[in-house]
Structure 1
């Protein structure tokens, strides 16, 4: 047990990261070199080989690493992406090797960047190996966080009332100086771990936000969008060339057909088919026959036939995603020193857009940049940078979600307008390489969505606008 000295910092140059998913692993790498020690704490016990684990229930579903995310990981670990490919991962040309249908229109084929297609367990396992090999990082499995340990801040003085509960610590605030750990599944087994910085990478549940309230600080305001998306995925083994030249098929939902799918090649000859739908009535089925029938309505005949004879190598895994969540930590006027939240704890995007891992990597890079300016005032500085990293992905994904009539909270007229706007943009992207490039840059975070406002792009979208029509069922 590491003692925690009340009223003072530990002075050990120690950072603790809670959660060893993609966000936590990237955060540990960002902290490495800025602290003498970094301890990565995970509730799960890791399997001996890559496998879906309890703490990542979405791990069985499609995961792709965009060019922007791959660039960050390669910066953290030079040669990492090549290592993934050597280990069986698949590189696919974004618009020339993937068959992409968005809002009912097939995007024009354009040689543009590459997407790394790997299973989530494979990527996480290799990333964890790299992080664990860092000389200042240690990994502790089978422990969960019970709560923060605090000490009064050394800075005293009155503060402007902001609605937080009155307490003795309010005069100078508090500093998080460690975390209390509990051994998973063992009642009453606690350990206090001193730290100069505690990083909450525990996911979308928002335990770090709850900790703020327990410390007498206001919790961040939340933006939530109820999307009620259901997923079902299964892996197949397909002989080389069995699915043609394409390395992946993406069919997005439309307002008239709120269902979609992603079929991508992963390690070896394995392909994963992930189905999704907005609203309970469109959640994909879990029986093998119904599963393929659900997909068949959206796939080309040759692909349907190939999957029908492919070898299923897993069962069907299901996952429910109720709400997109963004916590506005950057708007808080007061936060304790020594505690930051990262990854899905800050922003959890609808997984159908494939931006989650990339956003987590971008946040970790922002954390690394902020650490270069020293630890004091780190939480507020980091939250401002993290807000910049998530602002456009959040805007783009939630606007697309709001185009779906099944997503509540948007006025029907606004939903129809958004649906027509996205439909016109994708029709333009089917014919115009410039528009297709701008769309992909926005979706993949490889460039700014501002590219969609370029005059030539806008003119092309206007030419494809059909105010009196909407995307019909079965198109694409």
Structure 2
């Protein structure tokens, strides 16, 4: 039996009733609200692009994403963290989107034709259940996907991580052997570690998000902030970050010499611009 019941998984309750100890849990409260709507894509909209993305920051806890879809459509999701709630009224959605760090999202939906009603969702906290740390687990039972680890949805990692777990399970079954649950949970933990670190580390930039900020987390967040700033004027940096965020490349790719050089060059360029006095 496989529990793929998502964030509402009942596995902790069932295992408790069967006399198994509870799995250790890690939780990061983010209080995200997001509104999603689908629009008709006209020939001149998002030409040559797959979409656009802007993440929330401590200074502006709002974000948005545009994703091109099949059938000449695109989806827009606008979000707020820590109690910041995006509206779902037509005009108010546009005004909210125009306040984002990428105001192009607001300009896009102001002229776009909606093909679905707006849908609001709330996500209180990221949650990871560490079944790999249990000494006992029932035979013939597994927990996968959001039931195992539920990510902050604004980073779009949950479905990819679930797919990687499915591939892991397929490979383990093909290889055969005993103690499938232990081998699966240990492998799944390795699959989850990278994206969990990215998601949680990024959320811990917000002072109001509770959690331990280790020196490693502080260093990574400071560096990623510089990557974000540089990506605003450097498409190669932006592409490198999105490849890591979408789990195409490992996080270490952002520390490749060429990427570090572009981050430092971008920072020096911004500093030079900031000291140039305006003309009299």
Tell me the TM-score normalised to structure 1 length.
0.52
Please give the residue correspondences for 1:287-436 in structure 2 after superposition, counting only pairs within 5 Å: 287-298=89-100, 304-374=106-176, 376-410=178-212, 419-430=221-232, 435-436=237-238
SS at match of 1:236: strand
Residues 82-97 of structure 1 mapped to structure 2, 5 A cutoff: none
Shift of 1:378: 0.7
What residue in structure 2 maps to residue 236 of structure 1?
39
Residue equivalent to 1:19: none
Q: Does 368-377 or 271-280 show the bigger shift?
A: 368-377
The answer as to whether partners of 1:278 and 1:406 remain within 8 angstroms in 2 is no
SS at match of 2:125: strand
Secondary structure (helix, strand or coil) at the match of 1:404 reads coil
Equivalent positions of 1:111-126 (< 5 A) are none
- Looking at CA atoms only, which structure, 1 or 2, has the larger radius of gyration? 1
In 1, Cα distance between the equivalents of 2:179 and 2:145? 20
**Match status 1:204 vs 2:4:** no
Structure (1 or 2) with the greater strand fraction: 1
Does residue 265 of structure 2 align to residue 265 of structure 1?
Answer: no
- CA RMSD, 1 decimal: 2.8
How many aligned residue pairs are there?
269
Please, which of 23, 28, 52 is the counterpart of residue 249 of structure 1? 52
How far apart, in 1, do the equivalents of 2:248 and 2:116 lie?
A: 33
Distance in 2 separating the partners of 1:249 and 1:433: 12
**How far apart, CA to CA, are the structure 1 residues paired with 2:263 and 2:257?**
10
Cα shift at 1:240 = 1.6
5+ residue gaps, structure 2, are: 272-280
Between the aligned partners of 1:324 and 1:306, the Cα distance in structure 2 is: 30
Deviations 1:261-285 (A, max 9, x none): 01122122222111001111x1101
Task: Give the direction of change, closer, same or farther, for the CA distance of 1:320–1:372 in structure 2 (3 Å limit).
Answer: same
Q: 1:247 to 1:364 in 2, by over 3 A?
A: closer
The answer to which structure has the higher helix fraction is: 2
CA contact (8 A) 1:420 1:465 kept: no
Distance in 2, Cα, partners of 1:211 & 1:220: 12
Aligned with residue 276 of structure 1, among 69, 72, 79: 79
CA distance in 1, matches of 2:24, 2:5: 18
CA 1:362/1:348 → structure 2, altered by over 3 Å: closer, same or farther?
A: same
Partner of residue 226 from structure 1, selected from 10, 18, 29: 29
TM-score normalised according to structure 2 size: 0.85
Q: CA deviation at 1:459?
A: 4.8
- Note if contact 1:421-1:465 (Cα within 8 Å) is conserved in structure 2: no
